[in-house]
Amino acid sequence: MLRPLRLGLAAMLAAALTFSAAACGSDEHPADGPVTLSYMVWDTNQVPVMKELAAAFTKEHPTVTVDVQMTPWTDYWTKLRAAVSGGAAPDVFWMNGPNIQLYADNKVIVPLSDRISDAGIDLGVYPKALVDLYTFEGKVYGLPKDFDTVGVWYNKELFDAAKVAYPTDGWTWADFKAAAAKLTNPAKGVYAIGASVSSGQEYFYNTIYQAGGQVISADGKTSGYDQPATIEGLRFWTDLIKAGQSPDLKTMTDTQPLQLFESGKLAMYWGGSWNVSEFSKNEYTRTRVDVGPLPTGVRKATIIHGVANVVSSKTSHPEQAWEFVRFLGSRPAAEILGRSGPIPAYTGTQTGWASANARFKVQYFLDAVTYAVPYPVSRNTAAWNEAEAKHLSRAYSGEVDVETAATALAKDMNALLAKE
């Protein structure tokens, strides 16, 4: 079992490589000499377009090159925190809602407000929900890069075979449940959907707000998990597992819902606009799937979230790093991004994204902005995200009922919020 020595050596080697790589990135250069910025991202699908953007930036600033460093989502925040603690943070990196306040509060990233006003940038070109998400104590810390909303990806073949109408605007929870019952086909190993507990953004956050509940109070001080409406939003998923219309947690541990959907075992997959590039590349899904809006509960809702670019406070090239972030937030960059990436945040460039992805009915993702709910966050979101996963997985696996799990979660979450 185990080779502590080998693991240690591997870790040492990895550390040595990281440090040497980091050293290259932060070498002191004379002010006008060539500079290499490190830029850390988490989405493999977006690496090509990020490299394209980096090249476009270098064209305008010949002395600055950008090294796009890809770290998978599962390790991204772990590695970033370690890099920051060890003094080897990338110069520019992607930031998300759950982490922004933690990073801003600990002065890991620099406020950009002064630079934004000096450069005369109008923040009104980005959706307000995103600018607000990246504003902490009155200062803007990140320029929005893209945004995403959630929809129902569905397998047309399986819908046709079960003679179920495709999801359309205005379909309700009742319609969804009726469709789920018809789409489930145990003989063929086909489930209606994978009710995963792994991602609130794609699953339970949406149904919580559709049921009229909330994850966290508007002032960010109390948990919403003990509200009856919130519990209804969770029951939406546990009922699907109970009815056998979703695989159980064991099955989804062995094989992720995304893999099941991409092999025709799930009729529906609640996913984001970010899935567009994956599904248009995948041989199986490119012709068989399409997307519709989320069903309406008590009200219409989808979670909106977006990634922003931020500048490390430890960068030795603050000027160049800011120039790069500024470029990434500009209209030309948004147009490049929209052609082969996610929905650009820059208002007016989204139509380019929609026409570049005309294979699917992606307009639904753009229409969703009108009724979208901002991604729920607080100062230390990660702490209660962990509590969510811990308590909710017990409810999803049937170990405890959903009220018990939600009430216990609310208690834990309130304790964590009180500590912030």
Partner 1 sequence: MVVTESGVVRAESVVPPVPPGPTRRRRSWRHQRSEALWAYLLIAPTGLGLAVFYLWPVLQTAYFSFSEWGPFGGHEWIGLDNYRTLVGDAEALRALGNTTLYTVLGLAGIPVAIVFAALLNRRQLRAVSVYRMLFFLPMVTMPVAVAMVWRWLYNGEYGLINHVLSRVGIDGPHWIADPATALYALAAVGIWTTLGYNLVIFLAGMQAIPRELYEAASIDGAGPLVQFRRITLPLLSPSIFFVSVLSVIGSLQLFDLVYVIGGSGQSARNNPAYPRIQTVVALFYEKAFSSNDRGYAAAIVMALLLLIVALTAVQFRLQRRWVHYG
Binding residue for partner 1 (CB under 8 A) from 47, 82, 123, 356? Answer: 82
CA atoms within 13 A on the CB side of 133: 31
Residue 251 in contact with partner 1, rule: CB under 8 A: yes
Q: How far is the CB of 252 from partner 1 (least distance, A)?
A: 7
Residue tagged 């145990």 (tokens): 186
Q: Measure the CA–CA gap between 252 and 262, rounded to whole angstroms.
A: 13
**φ and ψ at 362, to 5 degrees?**
-75, -10
Residues in region 91-110 near partner 1 by CB under 8 A: 102, 106, 108
Query: Which DSSP string corresponds to 356-390?
Result: HTTTS-THHHHHGGGGEEEPP--TTHHHHHHHHHH
Q: Cβ neighbours of residue 229 under 8 Å, at least 6 residues apart?
A: 208, 211, 212, 213, 214, 298
Q: How far is the CB of 40 from partner 1 (least distance, A)?
A: 15
Residue 389 in contact with partner 1, rule: CB under 8 A: yes
Closer to partner 1 by Cβ: residue 202 or 323: 202
301: which 2 tokens?
Answer: 């809702």
Binding residue for partner 1 (CB under 8 A) from 60, 169, 319, 399? Answer: 399
39 DSSP β-pair partners: 68, 92
**φ and ψ at 141, to 5 degrees?**
-110, -15
**Helices marked H in 243-372:** 249-254, 257-262, 275-281, 285-288, 318-328, 331-340, 350-356, 363-367
Residue 334 in contact with partner 1, rule: CB under 8 A: no
Number of residues that bind partner 1 (CB under 8 A): 38
Positive or negative, the CA dihedral 191, 195, 199, 205 is: positive
Residue 18 in contact with partner 1, rule: CB under 8 A: no
Q: How far is the CB of 82 from partner 1 (least distance, A)?
A: 6
Binding residue for partner 1 (CB under 8 A) from 104, 249, 395, 406? Answer: 249
DSSP 299: S
Residue 169 in contact with partner 1, rule: CB under 8 A: no
Q: Measure the CA–CA gap between 29 and 50, rounded to whole angstroms.
A: 25
The span of 82-90, 119-127, 269-277, 362-370 binding partner 1 (CB under 8 A) equals: 82-90
Q: Measure the CA–CA gap between 284 and 286, rounded to whole angstroms.
A: 6
Closer to partner 1 by Cβ: residue 76 or 171: 76
Closer to partner 1 by Cβ: residue 66 or 95: 95
Q: How far is the CB of 254 from partner 1 (least distance, A)?
A: 5
Q: How far is the CB of 48 from partner 1 (least distance, A)?
A: 26
Residue 60 in contact with partner 1, rule: CB under 8 A: no
Terminal CA-CA length for the chain: 40
Closer to partner 1 by Cβ: residue 170 or 398: 398
Q: How far is the CB of 342 from partner 1 (least distance, A)?
A: 21
Task: Check: CB of residue 258 under 8 Å from CB of residue 141.
Answer: no
Residue 78 in contact with partner 1, rule: CB under 8 A: yes
Binding residue for partner 1 (CB under 8 A) from 374, 382, 400, 407? Answer: 382
Positive or negative, the CA dihedral 254, 256, 261, 266 is: positive
Binding residue for partner 1 (CB under 8 A) from 37, 183, 192, 197? Answer: 197
Q: Determine the residue type at 193.
A: I
Binding residue for partner 1 (CB under 8 A) from 255, 287, 351, 404? Answer: 255
Where do contacts with partner 1 occur on this chain (CB under 8 A)?
1-4, 6-8, 12, 74, 78, 81-82, 84-85, 102, 106, 108, 189, 196-198, 249-255, 380, 382-383, 385-386, 389-390, 393, 397, 399
